[in-house]
Amino acid sequence: MYENLIQYLRAATVAAFPNLDGHDELDAEITHWVHSNRLNMMRDVDGLSGALGNALSLFRQEQNATYEDILGELRFSPAAQPAFNFIDLFAGIGGFNLALSVNGGNCVFSSEWDKSAKKTYFKNYGKVPYGDINQFTGEGITEEELDSWIPNHQVLAGGFPCQPFSHAGVSARTALGLAHGFDCDTQGNLFHSIAKIAFVKQPEVVFMENVKNIVTHNGGETFDTIRNTMEQLSGGREGKQNYRFFHAIINSETEVAQRRVRCFMVCVREDIWQEQGDFVFPEFLGESIALREAIAQAGTTPDEAAEYTISDRLWQGHIDRTQRNLARNTGFTAHEANLDRPSNTIVARYGKDGKECLIPQEGANPRKLTINECRVLFGYPDNFWHPEVKTPAYKQFGNSVVVPVVSRISESITNYLQIAVEDGLQVVNA
């Protein structure tokens, strides 16, 4: 019924506003409106909100359904009484969304450019993310426009891609002092979008994730730029505040059966820090989880195992390249996984040849992880929707955060902010 509602609202919108037909962000605007009764990019379209409200009322009457009935059909429906609002940037398939929602959060804005990931996000959470975040933060976008387009929120979350940073020697304070501008060290990089939104919207916490190597990238200058940008974000502007920067390098192997090491950053607005003190990351202690436990949890059948078994040609190619690369002490190697240890890091290109994690099989070539086993290795629930086609599914999981890790950090953030969580994410078996 939910997807029928979105189709109904889209048809009603196009009938009333023909100029919006084919608009790249129409589905994003409608789905966000359904959850928040708020327009973002199309706030200036006179009469659109009223038209959507009328169409929603007609649909409910025709279906004899309440608003709660409709949202209740989502695999992960919103919290009945959310404790705080957050935005989900570079959203992927919604690992931050799941983790923050379980801890009482309400996602009021999401953005993701990959079309396949956007479909997965919609299938699970009922929102189509907006596309390129530069529509909201890029050159020529004023602070007033950004402020009106992006809803207020307490937590800004995003696992931004790491791109080379330029002008590393320029201080953020000097750059932020420019008129109209946010032409800082991060211009041209996707972290720039996070920084600009944080500057304008001033959330209490900015919660980011990236590869562990971001700390040492470019001799540490990249990380220094990120830290300095957040610590000097106000640029001395009246009414704006700086952020205190905290980070931790965290290995996921005690939460899931995957050795995935990532850098997590939590930036606390200075007035909150003055009240609460330093943010402390949770500790991830205990024994690592064996890969065989994830395989058992996934319940892989013999037929599935056969489907994912690699060919003689591919396996021989792995063997030959491994021997050559070991001899010259450079390049990748491909070995069968040790099932008593966590898997290696699963990357977006895993579907190409599976070399990062090959499951040994008695009397047969090794096999790749099944898509469902990947789901388990990233901590997504049983009823999480993902593509059946292998290539996009591997890519989406390989680009994802590990949900249990982000969930524990999210819990620490809500505790730090003294947010009382009464009713977290509602999980529907679908």
Enzyme catalytic residues:
162
Q: Distance between CA atoms of 387 and 188, rounded to whole angstroms?
A: 32
Contact 409, 281 (CB under 8 A): yes
Q: Is the dihedral of CA 20, 25, 27, 33 positive or negative?
A: negative
DSSP H helices, 187-298, are 191-201, 221-231, 270-276, 291-298
Q: Is the dihedral of CA 166, 168, 174, 176 positive or negative?
A: positive
Contact 151, 43 (CB under 8 A): no
| Residues in Cβ contact with 425 at an 8 Å cutoff, skipping those fewer than 6 apart | 76, 77, 78, 79, 98, 101, 102
Instruction: Supply 147's token pair.
Output: 């402020």
Match 């976008």 to its residue by tokens: 141
Task: Please calculate the CA angle 165-169-170 and round it to the nearest 5 degrees.
Answer: 90
Count of residues making up the chain: 430
DSSP H helices, 282-402, are 291-298, 302-307, 312-328, 350-353, 371-377, 390-398
Task: Please calculate the CA angle 227-379-354 and round it to the nearest 5 degrees.
Answer: 90
Nearest to 222 by CA among 199, 247, 251: 247
Match 């450019």 to its residue by tokens: 113
Q: Distance between CA atoms of 317 and 183, rounded to whole angstroms?
A: 48
Match 């929102």 to its residue by tokens: 127
Q: What are phi and psi of 105, to 5 degrees?
A: -85, 160
